[in-house]
């Protein structure tokens, strides 16, 4: 495994980030002395950090602090926490301070034939992706933005249900850190206390009938500032509200370890091997729901998923199955 550290374009802010990471109050003077710059230059750097979505508090007459401190991504810590099987499967680990979208970056690498087994994590995404062109909110240091590339041969049908199996892998990693009550919302969300904790986005490239690549993208909230979350149009939650103190590097390593093993085994095992585990965590099992597509919606009772990961909906006109793609699930009045 190669660990490549390349921290553009926020590289110049690294030193001040590392000083503020302890969560203590630092005076402008002390920061300036430590960085070898003027107080005005310190202030400018802090403005840039705020613009990246980082909460920098000004403590009157004393200085500045990042409430709760920062648990910065570290290639060494993350690499050391990977399971041995994952260390063998991971070809390259890329850490970035800021990218447009980790999925876009890995997709590009797959298209260039150098994305297999490559994982990228970013402190901040400026254009984090959701399904159907939606945005994933990921301000600096607030969560885990992780994408992993994998090359398959045998066509895309081998990946049927994979986004659900990814949800299972993430939920199991969260269990290991004592996060209680993690459930899954079809097709691609990880929930906690009935709110969205993480999202999964799979993107494909190549010849979908033969040799193709998949990017498994995960966005998970660890400590999302309210000020940055105001654009999220559905209930959300972060780990700090449920189980504070989990190390981002250790959790990212646990997630990545499970995802690598999952991707290696998935073509041979298929979704049926993960179906029971998915159904045990089904947030809407037996509940009345609405499935919404662009021009149509269906109402019925959620009856779990079939062996390809399609949602089973018990409607007035019988049992219907729905594949992910264009459909959104919402709770309905009983
Ligand atoms: P649905 O939740 O209807 O299935 P979706 O699957 O299209 O929607 P995703 O593509 O997984 O959703 O993610 C994008 C959506 O997630 C956004 O439209 C927004 O509602 C929500 N969202 C964006 N950022 C976050 C975040 N950091 N935490 C929780 N939810 C978010």
Summarize pLDDT for 104-149 with one digit per residue, the tens: 999 999 999 999 999 999 999 999 999 888 999 999 999 999 999 9
The residue-averaged pLDDT of 230-241 equals 96
Using a 6 Å CB cutoff, which residues line ligand 1? 130-132, 134-137, 188-189, 196, 199, 201, 219, 221, 224, 232-234, 236, 328
Q: What is the pLDDT of residues 110-120, one digit of tens each?
A: 999 999 999 99
Q: How confident is the model at residue 82 (pLDDT cuts 50, 70, 90)?
A: very high
Q: What is the pLDDT of residues 89-98, one digit of tens each?
A: 999 999 999 9
Using CA positions, which residue lies closest to atom 13 of ligand 1? 130
The residues that are catalytic are 131, 196, 330
DSSP category for residue 1: -
| Distance (Å) from CA 330 to ligand 1 centroid | 12
180, burial (CB in 10 Å: exposed 0-12, middle 13-18, buried 19+)? exposed
Using the predicted structure, report yes or no on whether residue 7 has a pLDDT greater than 50: no
Phi, psi (deg, nearest 5) at residue 86: -70, -35
pLDDT score at 142 = 93
Using CA positions, which residue lies closest to atom 4 of ligand 1? 328
What residue numbers does the annotated binding site for biotin cover?
101-103, 125, 129-131, 196
Q: Which residue among 101, 103, 126, 130 has the greatest number of ligand 1 atoms within 8 angstroms of its CB, and so is best to mutate?
A: 130
In whole angstroms, what separates CA 325 from the centre of its chain? 19
Using CA positions, which residue lies closest to atom 27 of ligand 1? 137
Q: How confident is the model at residue 2 (pLDDT cuts 50, 70, 90)?
A: low
How is residue 225 written in tokens?
A: 């500032």
State the sign of the Cα–Cα–Cα–Cα dihedral 184, 267, 159, 287.
Answer: negative
| Distance (Å) from CA 196 to ligand 1 centroid | 8
Using CA positions, which residue lies closest to atom 26 of ligand 1? 137
| Distance (Å) from CA 148 to ligand 1 centroid | 19
Nearest to 214 by CA among 200, 224, 225: 200
**CA 191 → CA 144, 162, 183, 221, distances in Å?**
15, 18, 5, 11
Its pTM stands at 0.94
Q: Which residues pair with 185 in a beta bridge?
A: 189
Q: Which residue among 125, 128, 136 has the greatest number of ligand 1 atoms within 8 angstroms of its CB, and so is best to mutate?
A: 136
Nearest to 196 by CA among 211, 178, 173, 218: 218
Q: Give the mean pLDDT of the chain.
A: 94
Taking phi over 0 as left and psi of -120 to 50 as alpha, with beta for the rest, 113 belongs to left
| Distance (Å) from CA 276 to ligand 1 centroid | 25
Lowest pLDDT segment from 6-15, 194-203, 222-231, 281-290: 6-15
pLDDT > 70 in the chain, percent: 97
Domains observed in the chain: 2-65 (1.10.10.10), 75-279 (3.30.930.10), 284-331 (2.30.30.100)
């Amino acid at each position: 495994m190669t660990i490549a550290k390349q921290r553009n374009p926020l590289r110049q802010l690294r030193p001040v980030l590392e000083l503020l990471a302890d969560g203590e109050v630092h005076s402008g003077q002390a920061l300036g002395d430590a960085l070898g710059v003027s107080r005005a230059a310190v202030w400018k750097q802090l403005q840039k950090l705020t613009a990246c979505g980082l909460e920098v508090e000004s403590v009157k007459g004393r200085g500045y602090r990042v409430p709760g401190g920062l648990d910065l991504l570290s290639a060494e810590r993350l690499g050391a926490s990977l399971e041995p099987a994952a260390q063998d499967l991971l070809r390259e680990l890329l850490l970035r301070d800021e990218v447009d979208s980790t999925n876009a970056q890995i997709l590009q690498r797959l298209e260039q034939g150098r994305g297999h087994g490559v994982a990228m994590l970013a402190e901040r995404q400026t254009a984090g992706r959701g399904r159907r062109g939606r945005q994933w909110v990921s301000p600096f240091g607030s969560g885990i933005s992780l994408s992993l590339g994998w090359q398959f041969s045998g066509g895309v049908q081998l990946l049927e249900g994979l986004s659900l199996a990814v949800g299972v892998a993430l939920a199991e990693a969260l269990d290991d850190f004592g996060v209680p009550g993690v459930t899954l919302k079809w097709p691609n969300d990880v929930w906690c206390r009935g709110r969205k904790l993480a999202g999964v986005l799979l993107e494909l490239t190549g010849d979908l009938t033969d040799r193709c690549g998949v990017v498994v993208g995960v966005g998970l909230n660890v400590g999302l500032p309210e000020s940055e979350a105001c654009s999220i149009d559905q209930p959300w939650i972060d780990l700090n509200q449920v189980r504070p103190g989990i190390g981002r590097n250790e959790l990212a390593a646990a997630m990545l370890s499970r995802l690598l093993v999952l991707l290696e085994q998935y073509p041979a095992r298929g979704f049926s091997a993960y179906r029971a585990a998915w159904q045990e965590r089904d947030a809407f099992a037996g509940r009345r729901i609405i499935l919404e597509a662009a021009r149509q919606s269906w109402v019925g009772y959620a009856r779990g998923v079939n062996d390809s990961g399609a949602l089973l909906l018990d409607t007035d006109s019988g049992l219907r199955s729905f594949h992910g793609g264009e459909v959104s699930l919402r709770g309905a009045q009983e």
